């Protein structure tokens, strides 16, 4: 016998489970190197995915999905010190918070937020990996910032896929009511 509250929230639970597995699948694809490199630049689609999911799931679940994505990135990095988990969690929380109180959810907003967080993440990664050990500006302008631009180009595919998944489950919620 399924409790009434689970039966009523089934579309929400299924939607969030779908996003959970989507984050897991993208993290695995990103971490095992299935994505091609373009002129030495790497695809990191997990950050645009966290931003896109956070736009639809608001701040609490944005924080949770960001934390999950950051933990999965930290597990792949040589030293798992939790900085990626913290950054991704804050990204998901801030994006969800902005959607709840200030902004409207559309592709332009997603592109703006992704661009801002990609730039911040590029500078953050540069400072974390190269800045402390005396990295050059050539690494910043030759790898980190172009990789952020490349990841921004993956946003339309990710955003519209997340939006389609969200729309299907919202329609299920309306059908159940």
- Domain assignment present for residue 177? The answer is no
List, in order, residues 6 or more apart from 112 with CB less than 8 Å away: none
**This prediction's pTM:** 0.88
What is the reported pLDDT for 1? Answer: 46
Q: By residue range, what is the domain housing residue 115?
A: 10-170
- Domain assignment present for residue 162? The answer is yes
Domain with residue 25: its CATH number is 1.10.1760
- Domain assignment present for residue 4? The answer is no
The domain tally of the chain equals 1
Let me know: does 85 contact 70? Beta carbons within 8 Å.
Answer: yes
- Domain assignment present for residue 112? The answer is yes
Predicted confidence (pLDDT) per residue in 105-162, tens digit = 999 999 999 999 999 988 888 887 776 666 677 777 877 788 888 888 889 999 999 9
Let me know: does 96 contact 63? Beta carbons within 8 Å.
Answer: yes
Let me know: does 57 contact 95? Beta carbons within 8 Å.
Answer: no
Predicted confidence (pLDDT) per residue in 29-86, tens digit = 888 877 777 777 777 889 999 999 999 998 999 999 999 999 998 888 766 688 889 9
- Domain assignment present for residue 2? The answer is no
Let me know: does 92 contact 64? Beta carbons within 8 Å.
Answer: yes
């Amino acid at each position: 016998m399924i409790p009434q509250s689970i039966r009523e929230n089934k579309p929400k639970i299924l939607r969030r489970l779908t996003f959970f597995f989507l984050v897991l699948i993208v993290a695995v694809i990103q971490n095992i190197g299935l994505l091609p490199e373009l002129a030495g630049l790497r695809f990191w689609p997990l950050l645009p995915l966290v931003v896109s999911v956070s736009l639809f799931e608001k701040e609490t679940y944005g924080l949770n999905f960001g934390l999950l994505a950051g933990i999965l990135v930290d597990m792949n990095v040589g030293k798992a010190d939790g900085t990626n988990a913290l950054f991704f969690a804050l990204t998901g929380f801030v994006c969800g918070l902005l959607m709840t109180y200030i902004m409207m959810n559309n592709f332009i907003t997603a592109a703006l937020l992704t661009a801002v967080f990609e730039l911040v993440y590029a500078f953050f990664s540069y400072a974390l990996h190269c800045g402390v050990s005396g990295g050059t500006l050539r690494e910043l302008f030759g790898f980190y910032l172009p990789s952020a631009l490349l990841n921004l180009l993956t946003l339309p595919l990710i955003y519209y896929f997340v939006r389609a998944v969200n729309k299907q489950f919202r329609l299920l919620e309306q059908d159940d009511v």
